[in-house]
Chain A
């Protein structure tokens, strides 16, 4: 299967600082990547859709000025959590899509990033 590499796998930061998370598709080109957030015992919630070369599309309730997304190349999307607060502590996961024959899509996920804001 395709590989999506996410870095870092965990990070602890002080309240008020910014954290950048990288998501790379290693063996396929991802024109679209998705960023999810997962709280304990909850489902993955889509935060935004990242499109290469254009602005990201944010889900309702997600602040675009707080969660900055950059998708400058076909293999790299970054999520920056700006002015992080303890309530931003969560598990952040990115995914890239491959469209198979018959228009079936298969999502490949990164390893996830555990963000803890203290």
Chain B
């Protein structure tokens, strides 16, 4: 069955450093992969989508890579800030209607 793994449950870094989160998947060849941010008690908010034919995508301080050979995506936040503290989820499309399967998420804490 399809599986998504975000192997770090939590990541603590110092303000100003680059945070790198990992998403691995198995038994799957997705057309694209998405990253979401979720704050406590809130629904996820879409951040970035990267397609299978794209190696890298950037949006402001965010950078996502997608390696379909390794079946892995890396999510980077450069010059991290305490306001970046949240849980970050990767998601893959499943089925023809656009529903998503999610990883468990990585809780990022940025200390000042």
> Which A residues have a C-beta under 8 Å from some C-beta of B?
1, 4, 6, 32, 34, 41-44, 46, 49, 91, 93, 95, 97, 99, 102, 104-112, 114
Contacts and interface: CB of A to CB of B under 8 A. Distances in A.
Given A43-B4, A107-B44, 4 more contacts: A32-B97, A46-B100, A104-B51, A106-B34
Given A43-B89, A109-B45, A111-B43, A97 B102 contact: no
Contact of A44 (B45, B89, B98): B89
Contacts of B98: 32, 97, 99, 105, 107
A106 B47 CA distance: 10
Contacts of B100: 34, 44, 46, 107
Contacts of A1: 46
B49 A44 contact: no
B41 A112 contact: yes
A4 B97 CA distance: 18
Nearest to B31: A103
B79 to A, nearest CB: 24
Contacts of A99: 98
Contact of A111 (B9, B42, B104): B42
Contact of B104 (A42, A104, A105, A112): A42
B1 to A, nearest CB: 11
B44 A109 contact: yes
Classify chain B's interface size: 20 to 34
B93 A105 contact: yes
Interface string B60-104: 000000000000000000000000000001010110011111111
A18 to B, nearest CB: 23
Given A32-B97, A41-B104, A43-B89, A114 B32 contact: no
A91 B87 CA distance: 15
A5 to B, nearest CB: 11
B91 to A, nearest CB: 8
A44 B102 contact: yes
Contacts of A111: 42-43
A41 B34 CA distance: 20
CB-based closest 9 A-B pairs: A109-B43, A105-B98, A43-B102, A43-B104, A44-B102, A97-B98, A112-B43, A93-B43, A109-B44
